[in-house]
Amino acid sequence: MFLKIPFLIASQEEFKDSKSKILQEWMAFDSPREILIRHEIEPDTFINDYAGSVFDYFMGVIAGETEIGNCPIMQSLLAYLKDREVSADELFEICSHFRRAMVDFSYDANLNSKALFGEISYVFDKNFRGILKYYTDTIFQKEQEINRNVKLLSEYKKALDASALISKTDMNGNITYVNDKLLSLCESSESEILGKKYTFMNHEDVTKEEQEAIWRELKENNIYQGTIKNKKKNGLYYYMDATIVKINDPHDNETEYMSVAYDVTKLIDARAEALKASQAKEYFLSNMSHEIRTPLNAILGFVNLLIAEDISKKHREYLDIILSSGENLLSIINDILDFSKLRSGEFTIESKIFSLHEEISHTMELFVASANNKDITIVSFIDPNIPKELFADALRIKQILSNFLSNAIKFTPSGGVISVSASCENRMLKISVEDSGIGIDKKDIENIFTAFAQAQYSELSNYDGTGLGLSICHQLTEHMGGHVGVQSELGEGSMFWMEIPVDVHTAQCQTFDDIQNFQKLKMVVYIDGDMLYQHESFLKYAHIFKMDITVVESLECEFDVAIFVHEEIKQRFKNEIINSDKKFIALMSKRYDEYDKYPHIGTMSFPIYCSKIHTVFEELLYPEISATYSQKSAQKFQGHILVAEDNEANQELIKILLNKYGLTYDLVENGYKAVEFYKENSYDLILMDEQMPVMDGNVAIRKILEYELQNHLQHTPVSALTANVIKGAKERGLLSGFDSFLGKPIVLKELERVFLTYLKVSSADSKFEENDASELVGIIKGLDTDKLAKELMLNSDELLMLLALFIKKMATSLEDLQNAIKHRDYKKIALCAHAIKGSSGNFRIEFLQDASSEMEKMAKNENSKYNYEKVYIEIKNRVDQIEIL
């Protein structure tokens, strides 16, 4: 729009040239400066960011380049000030002093013209009218928006009031508002609540410390979320799941607290009832487990004592089976009791690296005795092509197999056969158990894996059982990503099978380094009559091992080894082979000892598997490897061992033994160092004490397993060194990740068992020197030195050195124990007693072991009634009896 402002146009250049002076004059007035400072805008900032642009806008209007009344820079200023509540009067005051600065400049520049002053006021008024309109429109829009928000908030409030418990307090915690829903829940009136401290609503169960914690969190974080227990007018309780927030006014001043909560009383009560029921169940299961374990511990304890005696090979095998059965039962007890966890989804699968050949063979052997009692033969074929090391939950796989075998024995009549087979293709493991039993009717097969279901036909009426086992199997396989199945016909037997996905950790199969030695042998299988089926299991393995084997009906031929079935031969034939100079292997449906004293006749009882075949052939071809310890013959091994053991005497004994077995080693005194050494070195086996300072063995093995997993390393086998083998430690250790267990005191047979499992046998001379400790008679008092030397393969110097360490260790331990007892430091008492137990174990001082073990247990339970002083004196007296003269 064209404006008639000739004087302004004529003076425009003078104004432009004096822009800086005019702006400084504008900000020199007190009034606009105070307004800007009030709204936290520095005058210099205003000049730089706004005033200069306002001046340029005016000059543009005068030049006819800009339309008057729509100053964009003033709109920007209004937008900047929108949250500061600038008033119209303040806005006018700022703008009017711009006009005044322009007028004052015209006087100072001698542009004295009434018309010029009028034109300045004209342009200013026109412009301010546009700014005022913009300001008014903005305020109107805000009011409209506020009205909409108020209406929306009103709807929100209705919704909250209908569903939530709403209350407010002032900054001091005095209640200022409660909605009707909260009043109804409290069964109180508004007048009974308003004005009172909020804490008066809290139930007596809410402590003062908990109340203070709520307000402390509010002050620190401006919000609190949690469950609060309150009380009604009648004293009854209710629970609120509350969110409390701090409310600020537009000036960011704290004004009040607002609580939005929901009634969760029923939920909390239901959870409490469920927890109570769960605790009752856990208490029952814990007591039940304890009651079962108590007699089992006694059984296993005496079995361990018997194994250490000088007994026949047959009886030793029987005791091994009893020991394995008892230990397996400890694990199975927990598996059965975990049925509820399977149903609730709380059950977890714990995979680890394992040898399927070892696990299945051990599991089958557990059932041989019960099968033999019914004259049932267990035959097997565990495919040697199955990789040596798989990754899955071995314990659960064994549990399923055990259930299948148990059922097969139960439902197979006397004289029957049970066949176990296992194969692995495309990382899918399949294990089946086939029996020649009574079979299952078709109408019952579809429910056979349902909990508490059993076949209903009359043939099963004489069989007891809950029907729980197969349901557990079904659920276990589902947890492992597999499935179970059954094929059966009534009267024709049944075959149960499982398919489990597994990972292959080591692709090498179950063959042996010295298999070529067996392949060179000329073998014959002697059959007298129609009993070839009894040889089938062995012939399958022989075929895969590529053995040179021929089936014959007469032994009038050339051979290196002849295999026959013990139960099918006549006495005359038996007499001939006993007196023969050739080698034989007798296959047996169960273990007999008729041939044990004949080194040229090996025995192999069913079930047959790879390691059993290998062992029998080695014993037959190299009889010296099966010699007893009294012959001072043992194998040497290849490998580098990490030993974690804190007891100094035990350290020295282990060092001596490892040297005798031809092994190299690193030795550390706690679990922390064991982990560090493992990360820096390569080991073939780790021997880990369970109880050590700094870090115990269970923690250390978990850290080693985590390190292996993170770095994709091949698993290094770990054997626990524990004095608590028969007290549930194996069960706990399996969960921690141990692969094997060595008891304290160390038994060489068990030590060699671990070495044979995980290390390569050395070709070096395996003969140990004769250890005659008779020269120590009269030098050492209080110990059976001859027995120790024989059992631990120690010479006189080694025994003297270990005993000196033991006496030194005992002096320190006894002094520490006496001080701990004096101050009733139960933790220290338990540690000292454990050290005495560990030190005395390998010296076979049973009294010290038993007494210190009992004291350790009492101290761990903080039993104040136990006579620690009396037992201490007894322990000290026994130690004082041991002397080196």
DSSP for 165-186 reads: EEEEEETTSBEEEE-HHHHHHH
**pLDDT score of 82:** 56
Amino acid at site 101: A
Q: How far apart are CA 787 and CA 779, in angstroms?
A: 15
Report pLDDT for 633. 42
Burial of 815 (0-12, 13-18, 19+ CB in 10 A): exposed
Quote the percentage of the chain above a pLDDT of 70. 81
CA atoms within 13 A on the CB side of 498: 29
Give strand ranges (E) for 403-542. 417-425, 428-435, 483-489, 493-501, 503-509, 522-526
Mean pLDDT of 438-455: 74
Q: Where does the pLDDT of residue 679 fall: very low under 50, low under 70, confident under 90, or very high at 90 and above?
A: very high
**What CA–CA distance (Å, rounded) separates 336 from 328?**
12
Cis-peptide into 607, omega within 30 deg: yes
Cβ pair 237, 230 in contact under 8 A: yes
Residues making up the chain, counted from first to last:
885
Residue 105 CB neighbours (<10 A):
19
The C-alpha angle 271, 273, 279, rounded to 5 degrees, equals: 100
What is the pLDDT, as a whole number, of residue 530?
60
**End-to-end alpha carbon distance in the chain:** 127
Q: What is the pLDDT of residue 381?
A: 92
- Coil vs helix vs strand at 391: strand
Q: How far is the C-alpha of 694 from the C-alpha of 669, rounded, in Å?
A: 9
* Token representation of residue 822: 């004096």
Comparing 74 with 240, which gets the higher pLDDT?
240
The pTM of the whole model exceeds 0.75: no
Q: Which residues face 419 on adjacent strands? A: 379, 434
Domains of the chain, earliest start first: 6-142 (1.10.490), 164-263 (3.30.450.20), 349-509 (3.30.565.10), 515-626 (3.40.50.2300), 637-768 (3.40.50.2300), 792-884 (1.20.120)
What number of CA atoms fall less than 13 Å from residue 698's CA on the CB side?
10
Question: Which pLDDT score, from 0 to 100, does residue 448 have?
Answer: 84
Question: Token pair for residue 225?
Answer: 């979320």
Give 474's pLDDT tier (boundaries 50, 70, 90).
confident
Task: Quick: pLDDT tens for 563-576.
Answer: 998 888 888 888 88
Closest CA to 397 of 473, 495, 481: 473
pLDDT for 465: 43
Question: On the CB side of 757, how many CA atoms lie within 13 Å of its CA?
Answer: 22
CA dist 430 and 423 (Å) reads 5
Query: Which residues make beta-bridge pairs with 588?
Result: 605
pLDDT attached to residue 879: 86
190-244 pLDDT, tens per residue?
A: 888 888 888 888 888 888 888 888 888 888 888 888 898 988 888 899 999 999 9
Better pLDDT: 48 or 789: 48
pLDDT, tens digit (0-9, with 9 covering 90-100), for 832-866: 888 888 777 777 787 888 888 889 888 888 888 88
DSSP H/E element including 358: helix 356-366
For the stretch 713-757, pLDDT in tens is 888 999 888 755 433 444 444 445 777 777 776 777 778 878 888
Report the alpha-carbon distance of residue 569 to residue 477 in Å, rounded.
44
pLDDT at 804: 79
